[in-house]
Structure 1
Amino acid sequence: MKRKLVPHVARLLCVLALSASMTTAALAADPSAPSQCYPTAVTRSEDGGEIRKMYDLGPEDDPAGIPRSDFEQDGCHYTLIDLLKQELPANESRQHTETVSVNSKSKDMGAVLALLPQTKEFITEDGLAGVLSLKLDTVNVEVAGYGTATKEISTKRSYPNLAEQDTQYLPKTITENGKTLTLTDIQWQTDNTANMDGYAVADRYTAVATYSGSATNSYIKGYTVTADYVGTVSRINLNKIRYVAIFEGTALEPDPTDVPAPDAVVEQPEETPTGEKNAVLPVAVIVVTALLGGGAFYMIKRRR
């Protein structure tokens, strides 16, 4: 009798294993769930109060895959407030103006225009492309900033026919080109002169004085050049439907209760091996296995 039960037990164990694997696969993947859609363009308002995500979907794409959950970005919490549907034309085009800015070392128009190509390829944020042309009447050159430079300057002055080598005969400062210079060095020269009879007279001296100082001048660091490029941008839409998800943002404020006291001990949450996300799947498998195991045990007991 014992030997006859062994095949039944083996078959029941196989059934249990197969059922558990099928249950796990069924819970792990839902074939009916739509695939996630990804935006083709994202725009954000200057104040950060609104974000628009554009999805260009084909006939085979399910708009249910467009994410609608709240999210946080750049210190703001965003919530979906509207989802717009737009029928895209077969050929979409519009006029576009793009302002560019470049740096220049000179304000000479020839040097400036060398930095600006006549045409420029451009792609907008929502995917329209085209060739834009430079508008010469919009070219503007402005000073980018000023700097200062200091240099040392010096000059020499001669003071002849001095009775003796004494600095009291020399000015201590002079003015040169609007700059005040200070006496920094003196070179003395002896002037021997003779009278009508050929006899030498008392020596006279010439002082060669050096005056030094510094001059500070301002200069232009460079120039900023701005100009507009204008043209038509377009694209071909192949049976596309555009969905625009509009999210409204509110600034996040720190929660004072989340800030621990200086002497408080912050408890660290225990980490689970598989994470909270995957907790549902093992529990379901255990429940199904327990039910099947109980049935198998009941059948074995009956046969005995």
Structure 2
Amino acid sequence: MKRILTTMCALTLLLAASVPALAVKPEQSASYYPTSVEEYMEGDSPRIKKVYQLSLADDPSQIPTGDFERDGRLYYLLDMTRKDEVGVDIQTITQTKTLASETNNMEKILQSLEPQMEVTTEDGYTGTLTLDHTTVKVAADGYGGHRNL
């Protein structure tokens, strides 16, 4: 009984000492996963291409670069390239313009409207608005002239 108790105590001490070795260091807590993985052959050599998408705040040195085994084959890093993609933030803007006209002839009204217009919004967006002639509407604003009694 004493021998079993001594063995159990030794195992408990051994397990307690090995727990810090399994702990993850805080600076290594970031792990990145590929957004796409492509397997292909180059000649007789199997290749794997992994694509990671990182923000500007992400540290690319945290991408795993070590050798790994898959399906009984050993893979190692051949090349790592960086491709910066500039994002474009788009906002759809619709602007209504009212124009007084002496005619209800759509062709004459369209000629009086600017086909394009530069715009800067309060939010800081800049761009060119293009006239969509399919949305132009003609409405009677009032009636002029004299009224006969």
Short-chain TM bin: 0.3 to 0.5
TM-score (norm 1): 0.20
TM-score (norm 2): 0.38
Q: Which has the higher contact order (CA 8 A, sep 6+)?
A: 1
